[in-house]
């Protein structure tokens, strides 16, 4: 994986409006985890600083952290070198499958939405991408190839799709892709590590090649094919 700064994450730039209520705080932190902005092993900022960044009281923050600790998404240790550390929570596949089945209609609409938005975003990226955008996608691909766990592959996969959305030059596309990634966070864990890593890497290479060449039509088609394959695999796993 790429090198990351060991300093606690600064959330002040990510929060446009202060979140309110401990459930909203827990939801916001889960979103940051789903998008890979905070990752397994990362230490959250000290309590006082994090509460200030999120615009909530320390008691509200403590309640939110207890929720995340109870779900195994963070572990809290005491002492001079302690703090709240993000974990790679091993969610029970049976529980995920049951939840996904109850959300089958929503997820079907979501995958359809992704196909429309992300294929168009890929076409825009082919026409608008910068060298920095290409480098971000290449780095995400390197991380995906080097991934050794589901969490690492999920994060690298997300990094690629977000970098591609950024390259579209359209903030609405970027926001839509982020929201879709958050909603697909747990369902994606039903798919095998090998599928996510190998199939996604190959599909990303085709998309990246089209974007690099400035071929909007090919980028659109490659993204549609990628999401169609993902949807078919996801359906197979859920129904098995």
Residues 66 and 136 in one domain: no
Q: Please report, for the domain that includes residue 50, its CATH number.
A: 1.10.10.10
Q: Which of 59, 86, 113 is the last residue of a domain?
A: 86
Determine the Cα angle at 132 with ends 37 and 110, to 5°. Answer: 50
Give the position of tokens 């900022």: 45
Residues 61 and 170 in one domain: no
Is 183 part of any domain? Answer: yes
pTM above 0.85, yes or no: no
Residues 69 and 97 in one domain: no
Residues 147 and 190 in one domain: yes
Domain extent, residue 57, equals 22-86
Closest alpha carbon to 197 in 159, 239, 127, 148: 148
Question: What pLDDT, on the 0 to 100 scale, is given for residue 239?
Answer: 73
16-30, 34-48, 58-72, 139-153, range with the lowest pLDDT? 16-30
Residues 97 and 75 in one domain: no
- Whether the Cβ atoms of residue 83 and residue 39 lie closer than 8 Å to each other: no
Using one digit for the tens of pLDDT, what is the confidence trace for 43-75? Answer: 999 999 999 999 999 999 999 999 999 888 899
Number of domains in the chain: 2
Using one digit for the tens of pLDDT, what is the confidence trace for 84-131? Answer: 999 876 556 676 667 667 777 787 888 899 999 999 999 999 999 999
Give the position of tokens 């197979």: 236
Q: Which of 53, 86, 119 is the last residue of a domain?
A: 86
Could you tell me which residues are beta bridge partners of residue 86?
74
């Amino acid at each position: 994986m790429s090198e990351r700064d060991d300093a606690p994450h600064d959330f002040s730039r990510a929060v446009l409006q202060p979140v309110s209520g401990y459930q909203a705080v827990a939801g916001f932190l889960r979103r940051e985890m789903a998008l890979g902005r905070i990752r397994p092993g990362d230490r959250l900022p000290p309590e006082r600083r994090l509460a200030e960044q999120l615009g909530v009281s320390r008691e509200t923050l403590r309640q939110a952290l207890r929720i995340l600790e109870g779900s195994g998404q963070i572990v809290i240790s005491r002492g001079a070198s302690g703090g709240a550390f993000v974990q790679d929570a091993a969610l029970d596949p049976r529980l995920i499958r049951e939840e996904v089945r109850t959300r089958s209609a929503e997820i079907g609409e979501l995958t359809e939405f992704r196909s429309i938005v992300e294929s168009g975003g890929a076409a825009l990226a082919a026409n608008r991408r910068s060298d920095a955008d290409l480098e971000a996608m290449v780095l995400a691909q390197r991380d995906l190839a080097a991934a050794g766990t589901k969490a690492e592959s999920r994060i690298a996969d997300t990094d690629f799709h977000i970098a591609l959305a950024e390259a579209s030059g359209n903030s609405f596309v970027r926001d839509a892709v982020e929201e879709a990634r958050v909603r697909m966070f747990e369902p994606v864990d039903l798919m095998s590590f090998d599928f996510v890593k190998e199939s996604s890497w190959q599909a990303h290479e085709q998309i990246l090649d089209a974007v690099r060449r400035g071929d909007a039509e090919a980028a659109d088609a490659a993204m549609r094919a990628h999401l169609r394959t993902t949807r078919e695999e996801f359906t197979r796993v859920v129904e098995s």
